[in-house]
Structure 1
């Protein structure tokens, strides 16, 4: 079949691909370049709305999808679809054959990450058992959503991100409940520390993965397949992708506004507690991202795959962590507050690390 476009969308100039030695941040669009400003504004707007609009939180959470507020669910789906529509699915085999990358990701996400959060939570919150437990739950929930955005903004490998996120999803379904039992009940018992229980169904986690990864992944795959068949790859990437691309950030900003509107009163009403919870989170994000970069360089990975490894290791699935904490310990629990503080710290920190990654780009080999 000919790949000549039969009736493509109106062509639109795509941004030039940055060269490895170019100053990448200068090539970002206005929307991308001022992303920290937009995200900071979205967080403030959400916090303000949660404080000044009576009953807003109840209205936003009145309808839920797999335990997550419907507006947040919609924001996540809108956020993830454009990035997954950019993935070249016919190149995934180049990722699945990279055993160094897959092995490093599994080690960082499922051995190092939970253990590091456990250690930081006990070290920095020894007198706050509820917050400590909440952070351990956060450490177990590996990211399957926002990490796709951070990776794309940092010019990471989209195909690698899709594979690693899918791998995290499978392990999340299989291992989350067992690791929760180990880190909250078994390991503290071995160390002579107070124990907790975590009652969470693997089927509930599977449902979350199916909705928040499966739906946008299927939509992105079908868009790529149908678009290339109708217009050809060049026209699809030159015309269609630039039109839907900004919606990833619109979805991200909308999600942040809604998330912080839902939890604004809880966050602003406990400023000292938020500061205590923030300390282990800051250490966790810095160490996981830095460790991912160092491991990628040691393994000889390209910049693109090292960046993907680092961000998939540093990000967490706060939607899942919050849902589990609320279901197990209650909506007003300290465990739930710890989950809520997670994105308050993760969003600005990982946005900052996007810019650090771009600044370091020329020091890495490229694929």
Structure 2
């Protein structure tokens, strides 16, 4: 039997701010590069604002970005999503078997002569997304409750599996294949701290907002008055984070444009393959448009903050591994924004569904 997510309200239709998102992101990228170029010492100042390997300004941007989306989640529907074994199992397979293996293959295929960048890409492939995926999913009218569940599950697996898979893909598997090996020194605590900050804080805040807001003012007030007020802050936080990322790494990008281009090629292939694999898997399993697109974005996204922190902590801030980690989100952001629009197109063409109302359309 085909399972579809509950109908999405018509208010999810893209706002003017959302429709022009590619323009805003492009301007944010340019602003970050200009800041790096014309404000001496800014990148050093931002890099110095770190605690435990986590950038405080970027963390604030991500928290502002995630809170409005998680405040929209209907937590009373989460139990129903958690019971969908097809969704959960397919997500785990894509994220923890297919994703790391694909990135390992692409890194060795495209960067056989650049071991530092290759290692950095493999680390990116191991860090499954727990932050930006919620906003891509929301823009594509995916299932918010499903996204919350999958992100939470991936977070648990991230704490347990990241170091183990890092050892396997950087040491064990290359050794079996007669390739160069590399070590990875990362504590479970550092991974857990990353998950706690970038998922735990906004998730608790989102749940508390809905619980207290509905209890005191009612669901109608919460969804029709409160959410429209806080909703735009998700994109403000996203744009702020993008400006910071480009400001932090503007010099590296300018000094190594050819290296950035070489790193970008396997990343482009990775995001495209993982996204389409997730969408087609969801369609084949009969999950419906909303959950299929959620599966696609959770499979394609990566936790760039963890990947960068691990690369810097293990290999140093000026290492090739760190540069590869930084290029990850710089490619991921515009690619996944483009895939939001591809997703909305497939809703009508492949799923015969209006993505904004979840209503079936005539074939």
2:179 paired with 1:186? no
What's the CA shift for 1:65?
3.8
Q: Deviations over 1:237-272 (max 9, x none)?
A: 000000000000000000000111011100111000
2:267 and 2:37 map into 1 onto residues whose CA distance is 25
1:303 and 1:135 map into 2 onto residues whose CA distance is 30
Match of 1:259 among 216, 224, 245: 245
1:229 and 1:66 map into 2 onto residues whose CA distance is 37
Counterpart of 2:92 in structure 1 is 106
Match of 2:339 among 353, 358, 363: 353
1:326 and 1:62 map into 2 onto residues whose CA distance is 13
State the number of aligned residues.
346
1:269 and 1:53 map into 2 onto residues whose CA distance is 17
2:86 and 2:301 map into 1 onto residues whose CA distance is 20
What's the CA shift for 1:51?
2.0
What's the CA shift for 1:16?
6.4
Counterpart of 1:6 in structure 2 is none
Counterpart of 1:17 in structure 2 is 10
Instruction: State which drifts further: 156-165 or 44-53.
Output: 44-53
Matches within 5 A, 1:71-220: 71-220=57-206
Contact 1:42 1:256 in 2 (8 A): yes
Counterpart of 2:258 in structure 1 is 272
Q: Counterpart of 1:239 in 2: which secondary structure? A: helix
1:320 and 1:50 map into 2 onto residues whose CA distance is 23
Match of 1:227 among 205, 213, 216: 213
1:297 and 1:226 map into 2 onto residues whose CA distance is 37
2:207 and 2:327 map into 1 onto residues whose CA distance is 33
1:126 and 1:320 map into 2 onto residues whose CA distance is 24
2:41 and 2:292 map into 1 onto residues whose CA distance is 44
Contact 1:57 1:262 in 2 (8 A): yes
Contact 1:48 1:261 in 2 (8 A): yes
Match of 2:43 among 44, 52, 57: 57
TM-score relative to the length of structure 1: 0.92
2:277 paired with 1:284? no
Distance 1:142 1:16, change over 3 A: closer
What's the CA shift for 1:286?
0.4
Instruction: Find runs of 4+ consecutive structure 1 residues off by over 2 angstroms.
Output: none
Counterpart of 1:326 in structure 2 is 312
Q: Deviations over 1:76-129 (max 9, x none)?
A: 100000000000111101110000000000000000000000000000100100
Q: Deviations over 1:151-205 (max 9, x none)?
A: 0000000000000000110000000000000000000000000000000001100
C-alpha RMSD over aligned residues: 1.3
Counterpart of 2:228 in structure 1 is 242
2:343 and 2:254 map into 1 onto residues whose CA distance is 31
1:332 and 1:185 map into 2 onto residues whose CA distance is 23
Residue segments in structure 2 that go unaligned for 5+ positions in a row: 1-7
Counterpart of 1:317 in structure 2 is 303
Contact 2:14 2:139 in 1 (8 A): no
Residue segments in structure 1 that go unaligned for 5+ positions in a row: 1-14, 19-23
2:287 and 2:79 map into 1 onto residues whose CA distance is 16
2:271 and 2:255 map into 1 onto residues whose CA distance is 25
Q: Counterpart of 1:113 in 2: which secondary structure? A: helix
Contact 2:68 2:231 in 1 (8 A): yes
Counterpart of 1:8 in structure 2 is none
Contact 1:151 1:311 in 2 (8 A): yes
What's the CA shift for 1:50?
1.2
2:56 paired with 1:70? yes
Counterpart of 1:38 in structure 2 is 24
